[in-house]
Amino acid sequence: MAERVIPLIDQRSRPLDVPRAAQPFLAPGHLVDTRGRPLRDLRISVTDRCNFRCSYCMPKEVFDKNHQYLPHASLLTFEEITRLARLFIGQGVRKLRLTGGEPLLRKGLEALIEQLATLQTLEGDPLDITLTTNGALLQRKAKALKAAGLNRVTISLDALDDTVFRRMNDVDFPVADVLAGIDAASAAGLDRIKVNMVVKRGTNDHQILPMARHFRGTGITLRFIEYMDVGATNGWRMDEVLPSSEVVRQLQSEFALIPLEPTTTGETAERWGYAGLDGKYDPALGEIGVISSVTHAFCGDCNRARLSTEGSVYLCLFAGQGYDLRSMLRGGASDDEIQEAISAIWQGRTDRYSELRASLPEKSPQKSSRRVEMSYIGG
């Protein structure tokens, strides 16, 4: 069989220059991009390493023993992350999500959460601090994370069947340990726990109903994510995407579902509630979500910026390059200068890849190997 060669172009050496403020400096919190979208959500990647090798994200044949991870000195320190988070909050951010790679691999993460938990939104409210994890280390760490000030957690779990799950994480990790991590998160008092399942047609679509049965009525919200063409290494094919409409159809073959309103603007998931015997939504049975990143673009409401492990800002999950804020931090820039840079970067934002996906030519830069990896900027 011919070997599959997957290009891994390293964008990390080519950050974009930070633009100077193009438009007048706006009152804090009123910043919008070229499409009128505010900045509300900052996703922070704290490591580019992971203990799993999910084929849709960090395929083993690319992320092997020869793969060069970032040296420790390149990573933003906790103090640098907290300073940038504070400055992003000064531009309207209300929610922080720690991600990676696998964020629980970053040593002493609790200390970062403690620092972030001291920050407040522009309105003086507590921040919403959450984390996305594969759950492998959650059993050990849930209590300390909660004590440090983490509010919520999202755990990725692609199957309940142990064989399917071990194959998908590709490091033979057992499903029972992730389930124990979810239980530990719940016991630690972490709120509104979510479980994310990436659905790949022909790989784990037969796990949709078992996953729904398992989490229904537990207070945990299960969300089904369409397999996306992020990065340049996962060999993505449209025929492996199972549209959310099909996920909902499968669920409706067994459960009565009622459409629910979005809780916030910019919410990525379409919500469906389980109906009780009276045919009405029963909060005790809970809800599911579907995230249709491929078949139903939600760029119009996208209020998320992503901070890479080494301090570059990416304006879209499908961006090829980021804006280097670490040089500003380490070059002695003042808070005002960095705030102005964030403001100018966001004001110039035009990104809406998912809306354009179908109409972009296959050879366009956005569709080619120039895209940054998800394990580098975080999901």
Which residues lie near ligand SAM (CB under 6 A)? 50, 56-57, 99-100, 102, 132-134, 156, 196, 198, 225, 227-228, 230, 234, 374-375, 378-379
Q: Is 27 exposed, middle or buried (0-12, 13-18, 19+ CB in 10 A)?
A: exposed
Q: Is 211 in the site for ligand SF4 (CB under 6 A)?
A: no
Q: Least distance from C-beta 71 to ligand SAM, angstroms? A: 21
Q: Is 351 in the site for ligand SF4 (CB under 6 A)?
A: yes
Binding mask 98-117 for ligand SF4 (x = CB under 6 A): --xxx---------------
Q: Is 39 in the site for ligand SF4 (CB under 6 A)?
A: no
Q: Least distance from C-beta 98 to ligand SAM, angstroms? A: 9
3-state secondary structure string across the chain: CCCCCCCCCCHHHCCECCCCCCCCCCCCCCCECCCCCECCEEEEECCCCCCCCCCCCCCCCCCCCCCCCCCHHHCCCHHHHHHHHHHHHCCCCCEEEEECCCHHHCCCHHHHHHHHCCCECCCCCECEEEEEECCCCHHHHHHHHHHHCCCEEEEECCCCCHHHHHHHHCCCCCHHHHHHHHHHHHHCCCEEEEEEEEEECCCCHHHHHHHHHHHCCCCCEEEEEECCCCCCCCCCCHHHECCHHHHHHHHHCCCCEEEECCCCCCCCCEEEEEECCCCCECCCCCEEEEECCCCCCCHHHCCEEEECCCCEEECCCCCCCCEECHHHHHCCCCHHHHHHHHHHHHHCCCCCHHHHHHHCCCCCHHHCCCCCCHHHHCC
Q: Least distance from C-beta 277 to ligand SF4, angstroms? A: 38
Q: Least distance from C-beta 61 to ligand SF4, angstroms? A: 13
Q: Is 157 in the site for ligand SF4 (CB under 6 A)?
A: no
Cβ proximity to ligand SAM: between 87 and 225 the closer is 225
Q: Is 317 in the site for ligand SF4 (CB under 6 A)?
A: yes
Binding mask 358-377 for ligand SF4 (x = CB under 6 A): -----------------x--
Q: Least distance from C-beta 186 to ligand SAM, angstroms? A: 17
d(CA 200, CA 54): 12
Q: Least distance from C-beta 125 to ligand SAM, angstroms? A: 26
Q: Give how many residues touch ligand SF4 by CB under 6 A.
A: 22
Part of the chain binding ligand SF4 (CB under 6 A), chosen from 52-60, 73-81, 216-224, 358-366? 52-60
For residue 196, the partner it binds in ligand SF4, ligand SAM, none, with Cβ less than 5 to 8 A by kind, is: ligand SAM
Cβ proximity to ligand SF4: between 144 and 171 the closer is 171
For residue 317, the partner it binds in ligand SF4, ligand SAM, none, with Cβ less than 5 to 8 A by kind, is: ligand SF4
Residues forming the site for ligand SF4 (CB under 6 A) = 50, 52-54, 57-58, 100-102, 134, 156, 298-299, 302, 316-318, 351-354, 375
